[in-house]
Structure 1
């Protein structure tokens, strides 16, 4: 087996850099290079995780069992998000449609295309990706929380309080400023725990100890596990489109329902099943937090949903499903 994964060097902020990167990528999609053919020729299965940088030529390697895992929306959108100005894209631009059509052509050579969720699959289909149903598999990504092997004291909130946890970069784009606005002067019977570092670290440090906020700084693996074990709800107020969010996966593996903005809306989150999706406004986010602070039956229902989702995220189960795909292709 040979695994192909390239760096997403064309995803930076410079427009000129992005245009050059994707122009070269598009040019490389018309013909499979002899170098690539020679590199992969000894292998029975070639598994592609990222094609950016090589172009979709990697899907058209002749006489090879090619498996492709989709991590985002890069097959149909150079930004990989299918979001523009905070809104879902319903129709691609002309340039994006040409690129998607070329990717479509090369994908016909792929034996199996793995999508992490049905939602990502349906977005690709809506934006014009056309595949044989026999090519398509939905296999959730696998993840596990690292076991540090250390015995630590489990954290706890005030007696009787409900703990809402934010973990991640402390920057406005991740919605922390939105969360602090939504939290306002606090919510009775609740605590907001914040872990991470970044632009808003000092503001979080200044707020700790007041209005129910506790700031923990950057969380290593051990502290992260403690925070997840002691919390009731994970809050993801991001103002960026999220695909497979690792922090959301870790939250659900820990049995935590997730509150997310509709912009972020991680692919494994189903509103009313394992969490809640709100508008990206302080009022809407506060309403969702307030609902779970009062409604214990709803919290219990969503926690059970998160645990069911977690069973699909087991890393060993994921590995077995992918290996079964390899074996099927080899023996077919």
Structure 2
């Protein structure tokens, strides 16, 4: 199969960048003829603001470029990972006009929410779900900018009204059933949204988990529940050692906590090999997210090494983690509940070891490259079938 894989990279690398690379490599390993097209947000500062705003709504040049690449490559499928803001929805028309079916992975909630997170002022917010995104403009939800939020809200409104998201995409990929339900509520066609989770290219496998510490790995931002994490460990009073991996705006608070809270250490940003090694040695992972996570790669990596996860019972995490089998759940934002779940898991060694085995079995059943390729091929087949049934050529 000939596939063109397209991605707009963010200035701050995220999970979608990892998935883009992994999925591209996966397709090539299975013998598909794959080409890639990438743009980076690094060039945004070089573009006049009015032009950048107009291109976010409709970048005709990018649409034409995708059309040219499809014709040149003979692509049957164009798989988009992210089109915001440089590519714009114009690329869907370019791909389909040239004769390729369009697949769009929904890594975040950008089509429904200006900041892509359903998170505002420290809490979940669905004000714009199924509504005109006036709240996003009023609250300056995109980069705390009135003008930028207006542009994103205009993009959403125009393309929902014009049917771009309904008619321009042959198959959508949601990462979880929870996310699929949100996109259906937001107006995307249910029959064209398949669920395919993220996967791990290679895992070092399970280990004993005898390092004697709990682990947090992720960006140090409010929506990741970092402040709740620190409050919980203040309650624990040094009972459970904690290693924190990552960097971000809350780094000063984390650094201060390491001086005030016994047993808490901050290791900063580490490469993937080090992260996996620390996961192998950890007793369990803590994911205290306070937003609707898409499908965090840290969760897949944890289960790949047989690491149980203590996560918030919110959105995808609440649906993915099986309490007592692959981890434990706590009420989001509740530091006391988090501390109680952490302490229980820390003190129940036998149950924790059983969870390690079940977590790894879950990974082998659902999150391997082989399983992911099977799912992806089924989605591509559905996209081609839908494309063939439409008149747009």
Q: Structure 1's 175 and 138: CA in aligned 2 closer, same or farther, altered over 3 A?
A: closer
Counting only pairs closer than 5 Å after superposition, residues 11-160 of structure 1 correspond to structure 2 as 24-28=55-59, 33-41=63-71, 42-53=74-85, 54-60=87-93, 61-62=96-97, 63-85=99-121, 86-89=123-126, 91-95=129-133, 98-99=157-158, 101-102=160-161, 104-131=163-190, 133=191, 135-144=192-201, 156-157=210-211
Extract unaligned runs of 5+ from structure 1. 148-152
After superposition, the Cα gap between the structure-2 partners of 1:173 and 1:67, relative to the gap in structure 1 and judged at 3 Å, is closer
Q: Is residue 326 of structure 2 the alignment partner of residue 274 of structure 1?
A: yes
Q: Deviations over 1:238-273 (max 9, x none)?
A: 445432212222112222222233568548733525
Count of equivalent residues: 315
Unaligned runs of 5+ in 2: 12-39, 134-152, 389-393
The 3 A distance-change label for structure 1 pair 4 and 260 is same
CA contact (8 A) 2:200 2:369 kept: yes
Residue of 289, 294, 297 corresponding to 2:342: 289
Which structure's residues are more often helix, by fraction? Answer: 2
The one-character-per-residue Cα deviations of 1:255-301 (angstroms, maximum 9, x if unpaired) are: 22222335685487335253314221322221221232345576456
Report the Cα offset of residue 125 of structure 1.
0.8
Q: TM-score normalised to the size of structure 1?
A: 0.76
Equivalent in 8, 11, 18 of residue 6 of structure 1? 8
4+ residue segments displaced more than 6 Å: 9-12, 17-20
Instruction: Give the CA deviation at 1:45.
Output: 1.6
In 1, are the aligned partners of 2:215 and 2:242 still within 8 Å (CA)? yes
Alpha-carbon distance in structure 1 between the residues aligned to 2:209 and 2:308? 19
Alignment CA distance shift 1:213-1:83 (3 Å): closer
SS at match of 1:235: strand
Mean Cα displacement is larger for which, 120-129 or 186-195?
A: 186-195
Is residue 180 from structure 1 mapped to residue 212 from structure 2 by the alignment? no
